[in-house]
Amino acid sequence: MIIVQKASSAFKVGGFIEAPYFVDRDDELQHLHHDARTLSQSNVVIAPRRFGKTSLLRAVESRVSEEMLVSYLNCLGMVDSVGFHDRVVEAVLHAFALRHGRGKRLLATWRDLLKKPVLGMRDALAEIGGSIEGMGSIRLKFRTREVDAQALLESALAFPERFAAEQDENVLIILDEFQALVPLGEHIFSLLKEKMESQKRVVYLFSGSSLRMLHEVFGQEGKSPLYQMVGRLFLGEIPYQFVHRFYRERLREVHACEITAPALSQVTERVGGIPYYFQKLGVSLEREITIHDKKKITTRDIERAFASLLEELSGDFQERWETRFTGQQRAILKALSGGPMSVTETARLLETSPANISYNLSRQTEAMILTKEDGRYRITDRVFAAWLKEF
Ligand SMILES: Nc1ncnc2c1ncn2[C@@H]1O[C@H](COP(=O)(O)OP(=O)(O)OP(=O)(O)O)[C@@H](O)[C@H]1O
Ligand SMILES: [Mg+2]
């Protein structure tokens, strides 16, 4: 008999993150789970890049999908209304097919709709009737250019509610990277508002990594299309004690390896509570453990793993450095790579006036590149900051 041993690693980057790899976020998960299942309010999750938005959203999806239809959609790559429409419909029908065998046929009909001859499809739709026929006819009319993209958007946003009512289900629509819909035009947000106000069975969960988007789409009275339509949830770094416990337990369980208290502090000293980085540092550390059969991790091991992490990421950081920032933004970042500073201190270092840098400071804070805390600015991504300081 061949025994296949399941590969197990102490840390994990990418893919679906669940126990034992999922750290903390209990309160957030409960909060979002509650709001979705009770349909009490839609929410937007805001966090800088790499803080674990997608993982949290997917955890909500997994928990909520026992009770309702859940459609997870990443808005990156939805370049037009047709893309938006097709992805929303596909996701809703896919969620339904997962919960009910009879949904498979609906899903198959929907897929045919995009490619089979229009005439035959009209009959197939008439046979199904209801919300599918309504949505499908408009999609066919779009194929034959009888309606425009606007009608398609409208149809996409109306479909989940109609379908849910017919099937006696509730629906959670998760739109990850919501800011990517901005180029589709303002109209999508006002339509969304209109639907959200009248829908009874659909609730939304958005995510974004820009305070500017939050402000423009959700924050301004009289101006923002979704003003006061959603609750806001900010994700910060994961508290250090959870990161420490995670390291201690994973290393012990998977490698029977101990880690010293100073080494644990060094982990969070280097990568803080940013999930992507503490997992990535863990992977790098794990390689050392396996190769050298280590039984005890010290500060030196963490330093070595961190150096190799920086080296691995330096291509990405270089690219970010060269393509994302203006000259003055770079100068600001360089100045702040030494540690947090106030506007006045930064200006002094750059030999300019505070007024001259305030625009870029706020732009970068809105993009969550910088974080303002107690009147001082710091680089949100501390690993990027460490790289900047070194190179
Ligand atoms: N709660 C968590 N516990 C442990 N690790 C996590 C957690 N959340 C995220 N991670 C780790 O961080 C990685 C990146 O997380 P995720 O993709 O969810 O972040 P994100 O905020 O969506 O990033 P991006 O801005 O790039 O879309 C995951 O692959 C995983 O390794
Ligand atoms: Mg993400």
**Tokens found for residue 333:** 């970042």
Question: Distance from first CA to last CA of the chain, Å, rounded?
Answer: 54
Of residues 219 and 173, more confidently modeled: 173
Predicted confidence (pLDDT) at residue 152 exceeds the cutoff of 80: yes
Whole-prediction pTM value? 0.94
Predicted confidence (pLDDT) at residue 3 exceeds the cutoff of 70: no
163 lines ligand 1 (CB under 6 A): no
List the single range of 38-42, 218-222, 298-302 with lowest mean pLDDT.
218-222
pLDDT of residue 49: 95
274 lines ligand 1 (CB under 6 A): no
pLDDT of residue 7: 59
13 lines ligand 1 (CB under 6 A): yes
Bond before 160 cis per omega within 30 degrees:
no
Pocket mutation for ligand 1, best pick of 29, 54, 179 (most atoms within 8 Å of C-beta): 54
Model confidence pLDDT, tens digit, residues 255-296: 999 999 999 999 999 999 999 999 999 999 999 999 999 999
Model confidence pLDDT, tens digit, residues 98-133: 999 889 999 999 999 988 999 899 999 999 999 999
Tokens 């690693």 found at: 9
The mean of the pLDDT values for the chain is 94
Q: How far is the CA of 201 from the centre of ligand 1 (A)?
A: 29
- Which residue's alpha carbon is at the smallest distance from atom 26 of ligand 1? 50
Closest CA to 39 of 153, 161, 132, 131: 161
Q: How far is the CA of 314 from the centre of ligand 2 (A)?
A: 21
- On whether the CB atoms of residues 125 and 136 are closer than 8 A, the answer is yes
Closest CA to 88 of 67, 69, 66, 105: 69
What torsion, rounded to 10 degrees, do the Cα atoms 270, 276, 282, 284 define? -90
Q: What class has domain 26-234?
A: alpha beta
Model confidence pLDDT, tens digit, residues 336-358: 999 999 999 999 999 999 999 99
Name the band, by pLDDT with cuts 50, 70 and 90, for residue 6.
Answer: low
The pLDDT of 294-303, averaged and rounded, is 97
279 lines ligand 1 (CB under 6 A): yes
266 lines ligand 1 (CB under 6 A): no
Name the band, by pLDDT with cuts 50, 70 and 90, for residue 186.
Answer: confident
The per-type count for the chain, helices as H runs and strands as E runs, is 17, 9
Q: How far is the CA of 176 from the centre of ligand 2 (A)?
A: 7
Closest CA to 346 of 25, 158, 337: 337
d(CA 363, CA 360): 5
pLDDT of residue 296: 97
Q: Helix (H, G, I), strand (E, B), or coil: what is residue 370?
A: strand
Model confidence pLDDT, tens digit, residues 188-228: 999 999 999 999 999 999 999 988 888 888 888 888 889 88
In the chain, what are the domain boundaries? 26-234, 240-390
pLDDT of residue 214: 85
The pLDDT of 71-90, averaged and rounded, is 95
d(CA 142, CA 353): 56
> What percent of the chain has a predicted confidence (pLDDT) above 90?
88
CATH pick for 240-390 out of 3.30.390, 1.10.10, 2.30.30, 2.60.40: 1.10.10
Distance of CA 101 to the CA centre of its chain: 30
Of residues 222 and 49, more confidently modeled: 49
Q: Find the ligand nearest to 15 CA.
A: 1
Predicted confidence (pLDDT) at residue 21 exceeds the cutoff of 90: yes
pLDDT of residue 102: 86
Q: How far is the CA of 181 from the centre of ligand 2 (A)?
A: 15
Predicted confidence (pLDDT) at residue 371 exceeds the cutoff of 80: yes
**Tokens found for residue 241:** 């004690």
17 lines ligand 1 (CB under 6 A): yes
Predicted confidence (pLDDT) at residue 147 exceeds the cutoff of 60: yes
